[in-house]
Structure 1
Amino acid sequence: MRLTVIAKAAGITAATALLTVGTLAQAQASPSAGYIGDGYANNSHGVWCVQHLVNDVASAKGKGRPLAEDGLWGPNTKSWVTWYQGASGHGLSKDGIVGKGTGGWLLLDGDSYYGGYNYCYNYVPSYF
């Protein structure tokens, strides 16, 4: 009987810890990421995510992984964002800026480990 009480107490403590960690993780999530591109305040996480997700799409289309995933916005990253905007088939404006439309589609078209509602969701602008 004493072991049952100890086991229940341990279970309650573990559940409380998990809820606390989940709440802290949600509190740290960015409610809306800013645009990424020339003239915007780029953050290295957001740029890295764009580079990674564009590489995913390029690789799936037989283009290899053309971008260095270094978190630095530059002409090569902009050029491949423009390529993605034209090659995606989503009717995106080919302006080289990752706004909510381009960002949202990148999150959906890239890998599910970083895309979707996972890591990059906090750093790439989107409508969802």
Structure 2
Amino acid sequence: MVALLGMASAAQAKPGLPWIQYAVPNPHGVWCVQLAVNNLAQAHGLGRPLAQDGQFGKGTYDWVAWFQSTTHLPVDHIVGPKTGDQVLKYDGSYYGGHNYCYNYVPSTS
């Protein structure tokens, strides 16, 4: 029974979340990505370059690549689980465990 409790308490990514990328609708997830990019860009003295509008357009596409490069991830312009982990790290108070952005951003945990 202890083993089952340990397994139940292990963090898991929310199942079934699509990767966030161009032409795949997920406005809440895109908004979380835009928030995280803006937070990291601001920390690097670059201001807040993206409108947080939930639309994955050219600006978001380009800034996801910058975000991936800056967080030492392979650049593919797609927010999969590894990039999602970094998004959840930089999205500020909207994460706070498994809260708002966790429900929309793919992650490994």
TM-score where L is the length of structure 2:
0.80
**Equivalent pair of 1:32/1:122 in contact (CA under 8 Å):** no
Structure 2 CA distance for aligned equivalents of residues 73 and 66 of structure 1:
14
The aligned residue for residue 96 of structure 1 is 77
Q: What corresponds to 1:70 in structure 2?
A: 53
User: Is the 2:29–2:54 Cα contact (8 Å) retained in structure 1?
Assistant: yes
Who wins on radius of gyration, i.e. which is larger? 1
How far apart in 1 are the matches of 2:94 and 2:78?
A: 20
SS of residue matched to 2:30: helix
> Aligned to 1:114, which of 88, 94, 100?
94
Q: What's the C-alpha RMSD, in Å, of the aligned pairs? A: 1.4
% identical equivalent positions:
49
Structure 1: stretches of 5+ with no match in the other structure: 1-29
Structure number having the greater helix percentage? 1
Tell me by how many angstroms 1:44 deviates.
0.8
> What residue ranges of structure 2 are gaps of 5+ in the alignment?
1-13
